[in-house]
Chain A
Amino acid sequence: MANLPDEQPQRRREYSGPFTTLGIALVVILIVGFVFWFFELRTGGGSNNIKADNFGVIEQEGDFDPESQPAVASLGRLAPNFRLPNAHGEVIKLSDLRGRYVLLNFWASWCGPCRAEVRDLSELSDRFPEVLTVLGINQQEVSEIVIAFKSQFSVSYPLLLDFRGQVSSTYAISTGLPVSLLIDQKGVIREIYWGALSEEQYEYLIMTYLL
């Protein structure tokens, strides 16, 4: 005796055993994996797999941990350590500058206020070479731009390349440039300046820390 017909066969789902139902799902996933490998991993995906190794944020060195708290870009806390090259490949490590004040200046060539304060930063660097190091940290621009900028504005302090923006991210720098941080001799962040430093801020910085 015939059964009643299925009135909505297009809605019906049928289990035909693990191989033909769950197995096909597995095949689809394998195909996706293959496609991903083909496009992304096989030829390096056109992007570059060779990273500028060891550049970026690194572990603290030595037994410096004056606040006994993890490093973080916040006032009164140990500044995250990093290792970055300049446009000519010379490498600077923040922890190597312990014992001196360090003024980190995050900048980019497209940032008008950054260009405007370069002269003042250069003067500051030149005026206190014994106690202060100014480090310009460029945000993800190519070395040609940084070289041209250094030449154009006669920058007297090191300009470092944060290729991947890792240091900028760690210091919570977004596109609101420039941002400067004053780090003391023990590696602790003492001041954070959002935007270009004003005359009063320069004066305070010099009077309080550098003289």
Chain B
Amino acid sequence: MNTFSTLQSILISDPLRALWMLLTNVKFALALVFAAVFSGLLGVLIPQIPPEARENTVARAAWLELKHLDFGVWFEFLNALALFDVFHSAWFISLWFVVVVSVTVCTVSRFMPVWRSIHRPQKIVPDSYFEKASHRTKFSYTGEINVVEDKLKRLRYTVEQVEGDTGIPGAKYLFAQRFSWAQYGTFISHLALLMLLLGGLLTALAGDSRTLSLSEKRSAVPLFRDPGPGQIFVEMLDAVKGVDSDGHIIDFRSKFMVRRGDENILCEATVNDPCDAYGYRFHQAAFFDDLALFSITNPEGKLLFEDVLDFENQVALVPVISVIARDGQVLFDEAVPQMATIESAAGMTALAELNLRNGSYTISWRLPSQDNSAENMKVTITGPDLSATELFVGESLSSNLYEVTFKNPLLVPAINVLDMPGVSNEKVTVQLMKDRWGSDYLYVIGLRSDGEGLVLPIDTTWSSEDGFSFTFLERVDGSGIDVRRDPGDTFIWIAIVLGLLGLGITFYIPRRRLWVSFTRSQIFIAGIAPRSIRFEQELRKLGQAITGQSDTQSNEFEDD
């Protein structure tokens, strides 16, 4: 009976067995994996219906019509195969369903043979096996069987004397094995694959990930777009940049409150140490220290704006200047804000002014065209008692009254705000500065009608001629919090551990199984070991150790 007719008869008499044969067929498994990978590739290459449009038939139809215009005559064909929604198509889900079933069936089907082989091994083999085994050897020996048994035990084999099969007169038999449990390695590897699939499935179906930008002093931010009783709110209490005694950043961490209904969970999270709340994991993902809490009220006292002014990582290049009087008094020692810029053919130049005892000093410096690189930055200082003098970093100049030093360049948060409420100018420029005592202040250009810059220290209000009031409430910190839910991750971690364990056991635990037959003058040894091991060599050495001879023969050089 050929294979086809055997298969046909099984299909008719026992369809479930035929199904089992299909699911455990290696070629079928490879075909499934190839199909799954190819489908995934199609899903990446062909535009897919956005999730928000999929749930609405009208939106879906409108989106598909858009693709109809793009793909022309190919549209009907691609749409009929659900290739615009590969990952949610019935055939794709069915494919993965079959993969999971196939791996499950394979894993289950391997368990019993492995278990039986370990716990109820075949201890008796036919005498012919000693002539046919893949790994075998024979040698002359007239000693006692106990010597062989002891030798094997010293090699960490478990050994027992067994009855022979056909009963050659006077023949004795041994069964020995070492690390037989290592056969579980393959089963464990399959189990790992199954766990990996299940973990991936759970992650894909029930996983969620989003990032919240939260700043201190602001009200709680909802986690989900849609309102409802399951909504979770997150309120930033304290965003911290940890620095050591040398000023080096050592960590970023955030303390925040997570609320759902009446329940509150106080969380503290860092990049590597997340906080878990309501099934979600909150990680520190980013840190912002360039936020200013700012408010504007109209002439009637109505609050127009009270929010965080986010400098969005935009910066301005400024010099830190110190001015020391001849009597040793420090008159100025801090960063100088950009008060104006001049554009010329040579590029942009920033200007600032320092008002000292004897008048006003002008400081100018060239702004880099591409980035804020402060390399080779130089400032030019002009004053009542000074002609234009250039200073590089670290250089000083002396006038009759002062010693002026360009200490270092500095990048300070700076942003252009368009259409600020209560301001007639279209654009207002805000720089977040620190004075020599470390206090923050805002330097704002565009508020004053005379065009001059305005220094706005913390908790200070400035009122315009039109009656609008501007207050810099405080500088605040903020964090980007990565919020994830991944119910599959436990499965995936277990799968990784199992996978490493299974492969390690399979490849590195030297499992062996031996059958030994004694006749009056000869010993025959046949055995099983992983293919990667040179078992014949081991068997030859074993024979030499038992007999003290060097002429044992293995099947490598036997002429059968």
Decide yes or no: A57 and B224 within 8 Å by CB, A25-B108, A70-B65 being known contacts: no
Q: Which residues of A contact B243 (CB under 8 A)?
A: none
Partner of A2 from the list B97, B165, B186 (CB cut-off 8 Å) is: B165
**Chain A: interface residue total (CB-CB under 8 A):** 71
Beta-carbon contact of B56 and A148 below 8 Å? no
Q: Name B63's closest neighbour in chain A (CB-CB).
A: A170
| CA of A21 to CA of B428, assembled, Å | 73
Beta-carbon contact of A47 and B125 below 8 Å? no
Beta-carbon contact of B69 and A74 below 8 Å? yes
Decide yes or no: A56 and B56 within 8 Å by CB, A25-B104, A47-B230 being known contacts: yes
Q: Which residues of B contact A86 (CB under 8 A)?
A: none
Smallest Cβ distance from A70 to chain B, in angstroms? 5
Beta-carbon contact of B205 and A29 below 8 Å? no
**Chain B: interface residue total (CB-CB under 8 A):** 84
Beta-carbon contact of B226 and A164 below 8 Å? yes
Residue B257 lies at the interface, judged by CB distance under 8 Å to chain A: no
Beta-carbon contact of A10 and B185 below 8 Å? yes
Q: Which residues from 78 to 128 on chain B have a C-beta closer than 8 Å to any C-beta of chain A?
A: 97, 100-101, 104-106, 108-110, 112-114, 116-117, 122, 124-126, 128
Residue A1 lies at the interface, judged by CB distance under 8 Å to chain B: yes
Residue A14 lies at the interface, judged by CB distance under 8 Å to chain B: yes
Q: Which residues of A contact B278 (CB under 8 A)?
A: 46
Smallest Cβ distance from A118 to chain B, in angstroms? 7
Q: Which residues from 248 to 264 on chain B have a C-beta closer than 8 Å to any C-beta of chain A?
A: none
Beta-carbon contact of B50 and A39 below 8 Å? no
Beta-carbon contact of B125 and A2 below 8 Å? yes
Beta-carbon contact of B62 and A70 below 8 Å? yes
Q: Name A80's closest neighbour in chain B (CB-CB).
A: B62
Beta-carbon contact of B279 and A52 below 8 Å? no
Beta-carbon contact of B113 and A12 below 8 Å? yes
Residue B455 lies at the interface, judged by CB distance under 8 Å to chain A: no
A98-106, A129-137, A150-158: which lies at the interface: A150-158
Beta-carbon contact of B165 and A1 below 8 Å? yes
Q: Which residues of B contact A49 (CB under 8 A)?
A: 228, 230
Beta-carbon contact of A52 and B226 below 8 Å? yes
Beta-carbon contact of B66 and A48 below 8 Å? no
Decide yes or no: A163 and B109 within 8 Å by CB, A2-B122, A10-B114 being known contacts: no
| CA of A151 to CA of B419, assembled, Å | 11
| CA of A25 to CA of B105, assembled, Å | 6
Smallest Cβ distance from A2 to chain B, in angstroms? 5
Partner of B528 from the list A7, A25, A73, A119 (CB cut-off 8 Å) is: A7
Beta-carbon contact of A14 and B109 below 8 Å? yes
Decide yes or no: A22 and B105 within 8 Å by CB, A10-B114, A35-B487, A70-B62 being known contacts: yes
Specify the main secondary structure of chain A where it touches its partner: loop
Beta-carbon contact of B65 and A72 below 8 Å? yes
Q: Which residues of A contact B106 (CB under 8 A)?
A: 13
Q: Name B486's closest neighbour in chain A (CB-CB).
A: A39
| CA of A8 to CA of B113, assembled, Å | 10
Residue B194 lies at the interface, judged by CB distance under 8 Å to chain A: yes
Smallest Cβ distance from B532 to chain A, in angstroms? 13
Q: Which residues of B contact A3 (CB under 8 A)?
A: 122, 126
B14-22, B283-291, B538-546: which lies at the interface: B14-22
Beta-carbon contact of B230 and A39 below 8 Å? no
Decide yes or no: A25 and B226 within 8 Å by CB, A14-B113, A56-B59, A170-B59 being known contacts: no
Q: Name B420's closest neighbour in chain A (CB-CB).
A: A152
Partner of A10 from the list B97, B186, B219 (CB cut-off 8 Å) is: B186
Beta-carbon contact of A169 and B53 below 8 Å? yes
Beta-carbon contact of A40 and B205 below 8 Å? yes
A-contact bits for B488-510, CB 8 A (1 contact / 0 none): 00000000000000000010000
Partner of B19 from the list A2, A12, A22 (CB cut-off 8 Å) is: A22
Decide yes or no: A6 and B113 within 8 Å by CB, A18-B16, A39-B202, A151-B304 being known contacts: yes
Beta-carbon contact of A2 and B227 below 8 Å? no
Beta-carbon contact of B227 and A48 below 8 Å? yes
Q: Name A79's closest neighbour in chain B (CB-CB).
A: B62
Residue B39 lies at the interface, judged by CB distance under 8 Å to chain A: no
Partner of A40 from the list B50, B62, B114, B206 (CB cut-off 8 Å) is: B206
Smallest Cβ distance from A39 to chain B, in angstroms? 4
Beta-carbon contact of A57 and B59 below 8 Å? yes
Beta-carbon contact of B20 and A21 below 8 Å? yes
Smallest Cβ distance from A116 to chain B, in angstroms? 6
Q: Which residues of A contact B100 (CB under 8 A)?
A: 28-29, 32
**Most chain B CB within a 10 A radius of its CB, from A1, A154, A165, A170:** A170
Smallest Cβ distance from A82 to chain B, in angstroms? 8
Residue A140 lies at the interface, judged by CB distance under 8 Å to chain B: yes
Beta-carbon contact of B66 and A73 below 8 Å? yes
Beta-carbon contact of B66 and A74 below 8 Å? yes
| CA of A29 to CA of B29, assembled, Å | 18
Partner of B279 from the list A46, A71, A169 (CB cut-off 8 Å) is: A46
| CA of A25 to CA of B59, assembled, Å | 38
Residue B134 lies at the interface, judged by CB distance under 8 Å to chain A: yes
Residue A5 lies at the interface, judged by CB distance under 8 Å to chain B: yes
Beta-carbon contact of A116 and B227 below 8 Å? no
Q: Which residues of A contact B128 (CB under 8 A)?
A: 4
**Most chain A CB within a 10 A radius of its CB, from B24, B165, B418:** B418
Residue A16 lies at the interface, judged by CB distance under 8 Å to chain B: yes
B-contact bits for A160-195, CB 8 A (1 contact / 0 none): 000111111110100000000000000000000000
Beta-carbon contact of B225 and A35 below 8 Å? no
Residue B201 lies at the interface, judged by CB distance under 8 Å to chain A: yes
Beta-carbon contact of A5 and B528 below 8 Å? yes
Residue A9 lies at the interface, judged by CB distance under 8 Å to chain B: yes
Residue B280 lies at the interface, judged by CB distance under 8 Å to chain A: yes
A-contact bits for B42-74, CB 8 A (1 contact / 0 none): 000000001011011011011101101100000
Beta-carbon contact of A15 and B109 below 8 Å? yes
Beta-carbon contact of B186 and A57 below 8 Å? no
Beta-carbon contact of A50 and B58 below 8 Å? no
A-contact bits for B179-223, CB 8 A (1 contact / 0 none): 000010111000000100010011001101000000000010110
| CA of A168 to CA of B53, assembled, Å | 9
Beta-carbon contact of A57 and B56 below 8 Å? yes
Q: Name B106's closest neighbour in chain A (CB-CB).
A: A13
Decide yes or no: A57 and B485 within 8 Å by CB, A48-B227, A116-B418 being known contacts: no
Q: Which residues of A contact B20 (CB under 8 A)?
A: 15, 18, 21-22
Q: Name B296's closest neighbour in chain A (CB-CB).
A: A152
13 A-B pairs besides A47-B208, A81-B58, A165-B50 with CB distance below 8 A are A4-B125, A10-B110, A10-B187, A12-B114, A13-B106, A14-B110, A22-B20, A36-B205, A43-B230, A48-B224, A50-B230, A80-B62, A116-B418
Interchain residue pairs A-B with the least CB separation, the first 9: A9-B117, A57-B59, A50-B228, A13-B109, A72-B65, A48-B228, A169-B50, A10-B186, A12-B113
Contacts A/B (CB < 8 Å), 21 sampled: A2-B126, A3-B122, A5-B515, A10-B114, A11-B110, A13-B24, A14-B112, A20-B108, A22-B19, A24-B108, A25-B101, A25-B105, A29-B100, A29-B104, A43-B230, A46-B230, A48-B230, A59-B58, A153-B419, A154-B419, A170-B62
